[in-house]
A and B are shown apart, each in its own frame.
Chain A
Amino acid sequence: MTAPLLEAQGVGYTYPGTTPTRALEGLNLAVNDGEFLALLGPVGCGKTTLLRMFAGFLRPTQGTVRCAGATIDGPGWQKGYVLQEESIFPWMTVRENLEFGLLAKGADPAARRAASDELIRLIGLSAFEGTYPKELSAGMSKMVEVARVLATDPSILLLDEPFGALDSQTRARLQDALSRLWEQRRKTVLFVTHDAEEALYLADRIVVLTQRPGRIKAQFAVQIPRPRSFETRFSPEFVALKRQVLEATAA
Chain B
Amino acid sequence: MVALRMRRAAVALGALVVLYGIAAELGRGRLPDRIWMGSHYVDNIQLLPTWRSLAEEGAFLLESDILASSVAVSTRRVLAGLLLGSLVGILLGLATGWAWRLEALADPWVTFFRFTPALALLPLFVTWFGYGELSKVLLIASSVAVVTLLGAHHGVRTVPRAYIDAATSLGAGRSLLFRRVVLPFALPHIFASVRVATGLAWVTIVVAELIDAKMPSLGYLLALSGAYPRVPTMLIALATVGALVLAFDLVLLLIHARSTRWMRRTA
Contacts and interface: CB of A to CB of B under 8 A. Distances in A.
Nearest to B177: A104
A101 B171 contact: yes
B220 to A, nearest CB: 45
Contact of B170 (A85, A101, A134): A101
Given A75-B168, A91-B262, A134-B263, A104 B160 contact: no
Q: Identify whether the interface residues of B are mostly helix, strand, loop, or mixed.
A: helix
Interface in A75-112: 75-77, 79-81, 83, 85-87, 89-92, 100-101, 103-105
Quick one: which of B162, B166, B180, B261 has the most chain A CB within 10 A? B166
Interface string B150-188: 000000000010110111111111001000110011010
Contact of B165 (A83, A91, A105): A83
Contacts of B180: 89, 92, 100, 103
Nearest to A74: B168
Contact of A132 (B165, B187, B261): B261
A148 B171 CA distance: 12
Contact of B184 (A56, A91, A134, A152): A91
Contacts of B185: 91
Contacts of B168: 57, 75
B173 to A, nearest CB: 7
B166 A87 contact: yes
Contacts of B261: 132
Quick one: which of A79, A90, A145 has the most chain B CB within 10 A? A90
A104 B173 contact: yes
A65 B172 CA distance: 23
B176 A103 contact: yes
Contact of B162 (A55, A87, A92, A134): A87
B101 interface: no
Interface size class on chain A is 20 to 34
A196 to B, nearest CB: 26
A144 to B, nearest CB: 11
A234 B262 CA distance: 43
A81 B169 CA distance: 6
B264 interface: yes
Interface in A146-179: 148-149, 152
Nearest to B188: A91
A51 B33 CA distance: 80
A85 to B, nearest CB: 4
Contacts of A100: 167, 170, 172, 180
Quick one: which of A77, A79, A80 has the most chain B CB within 10 A? A77
B160 A85 contact: yes
Contacts of A85: 160, 162
Contacts of A148: 170
A90 B166 CA distance: 13
A90 B263 contact: yes
A134 B262 contact: yes
A75 B262 contact: no
B162 A83 contact: yes
B1 to A, nearest CB: 14
A57 B165 contact: yes
Quick one: which of B165, B171, B264 has the most chain A CB within 10 A? B171
Contacts of A145: 166
A152 B170 contact: yes
B221 to A, nearest CB: 44
Contacts of B181: 89
14 contacts: A57-B165, A77-B171, A81-B165, A87-B166, A89-B180, A89-B181, A90-B263, A91-B260, A100-B172, A100-B180, A101-B171, A103-B180, A104-B171, A104-B176
9 closest pairs, A vs B, by CB? A77-B171, A87-B166, A91-B184, A104-B171, A85-B162, A101-B170, A81-B169, A132-B262, A87-B162
Given A92-B262, A105-B171, 13 more contacts: A75-B169, A81-B166, A83-B162, A91-B187, A91-B260, A100-B170, A103-B180, A132-B261, A133-B262, A134-B263, A145-B166, A149-B169, A149-B170
